[in-house]
Structure 1
């Protein structure tokens, strides 16, 4: 009991320090910064905003409710991490599930570690920390790797050192982004494993990828069965003459690159259907109200 009181007193005392506008801490060199940065502080939930760099886009409602029940009974055991944006304003770096679950049970404050970081540092911290989690799906991990390469300008070799993974492992994840967006969504929804995806990515034609994907799901094919199906596909493909109409059905380069940018920006698989060189439609899947709201915010900026 005494231990809980001590922790609360520490958090509350530092919270009061942060609410003093005359001594607002904006950098690690400011007065009292050493008392705040790296310490556990009780922060008001209403003063924390979600992180737009969060690589996770799927939040399972059932597991979120389970976490909320645990928090209601035991409290928040592991503090979240935030970065300071301004006076009494913070942004999540990691711990969005704990943040969401705490709001579900009606908590007003949450224990948090405070960091002072710019956007690039915040992005890197969020991506690297989340990659280490065990419950990210393969596509979320692949997108996180790709963002670290594109936005932090890391090579695969440097990325390997940063996240503690073999370069070959990173390359295998990145190859999954070559799968059709429909298949990527299927992986995120748990209809097939990374092993299935690694086999499917060896088929270049998107429509043929989807056909085999539907067969995997419909017939509950194992990874080994899928690998054999891909091998059979290539054996048949080499015996066929080149298709004269395949190029007509293929999306123009500007659409392919554009869809990739949209998918990376929204962190979801995006499906495009074309009819002619400059006509078509785009569909964006979502799996929960929260994911829909996140996508809407990214699109509208509101």
Structure 2
């Protein structure tokens, strides 16, 4: 009799199996785990908790409404991914937009791909999947990379392998987090691009950063124009190179200068370089004066 009841329970389908306390699956090694983990199951929306590790924090309402309209018309085509927490309790790993839009149109169940993962694995899966999406803003991506460093202790090289991005690309995103928070918000809201942010980050002074940011927004500057503005600022603060004066290798004393003046009948200029070389400048005031000096030289 017990066997008949068991077969009947299994025959109710995978969704029913999940709600059977006698078949509660907590690990991949549990009985019937192979029937659930890795499969797409129709889950009650109310049984799914939002992922606290979700890297996305901004959800465009217009985009969400468009997705909701599509789901209402065609249904939820792409399943969400969840992990099993407890009996009939799940936590979202990826697909928060789809889950939100499904709730907006009044769906009570959604197709879900079921995983069993610990917190670190859940965070890693959520972050990596979201980084690979095309609709995250640059700051959200940068924050996701930073969380992989802080909470999963991944190096930039390990992240490069996980997300399929060059290490230099990851480094460029992470540098955006050094920008003033006002500028980070500007990037998230679409007032400036990541290219603008990469140009501004070359300036250490955050007050100057925000000044340039305001010019970009008010004057609608391009990335190239922003780069030129940053370069002009950096050039303006460079210390002026001053050439050290070379000391003359010897000095002409007053008696020697006086001898020149007495001979030529005019004040002369003597310049001596550090290597002992130099020049004597003899001024003249007219052609007649010039001829007079020539006669003195010829003797």
TM-score (norm 2): 0.76
Residue 280 of structure 2: aligned partner = none
SS of 1:186's equivalent in the other structure is helix
Residue 71 of structure 1: aligned partner = 71
Matches of 1:108 and 1:33 in 2, distance apart?
24
Q: Deviations over 1:239-286 (max 9, x none)?
A: 49xxxxxxxxxxxxxxxxxxxxxxxxxxxxxxxxxxxxxxxxxxxxxx
RMSD: 1.2
Return 5+ residue gaps in structure 2 as ranges. Answer: 1-11, 241-299
TM-score (norm 1): 0.75
Matches of 2:218 and 2:54 in 1, distance apart?
33
Matches of 2:206 and 2:13 in 1, distance apart?
58
Matches of 2:126 and 2:234 in 1, distance apart?
40
Matches of 2:218 and 2:239 in 1, distance apart?
27
Residue 45 of structure 2: aligned partner = 45
SS of 2:13's equivalent in the other structure is helix
Return 5+ residue gaps in structure 1 as ranges. Answer: 1-11, 241-302
Structure 1 residue 171 corresponds to structure 2 residue 139: no
Matches of 2:99 and 2:76 in 1, distance apart?
9
Matches of 1:228 and 1:64 in 2, distance apart?
38
Within 5 Å, give how 1:175-194 maps onto structure 2.
175-194=175-194
Matches of 1:141 and 1:225 in 2, distance apart?
25
Matches of 1:68 and 1:162 in 2, distance apart?
31
Matches of 2:158 and 2:19 in 1, distance apart?
40
Matches of 2:112 and 2:140 in 1, distance apart?
25
Residue 61 of structure 2: aligned partner = 61
- Residue 149 of structure 1: CA displacement? 1.0
How many residue pairs were aligned? 230
Matches of 2:215 and 2:237 in 1, distance apart?
18
Q: Deviations over 1:67-111 (max 9, x none)?
A: 000000000000000000100100000000000000000000000
Structure 1 residue 18 corresponds to structure 2 residue 8: no
Residue 278 of structure 1: aligned partner = none
Matches of 1:107 and 1:205 in 2, distance apart?
51
Structure 1 residue 103 corresponds to structure 2 residue 98: no
Q: Which has the larger radius of gyration?
A: 2
Residue 123 of structure 1: aligned partner = 123
Matches of 1:13 and 1:192 in 2, distance apart?
51
Residue 217 of structure 2: aligned partner = 217
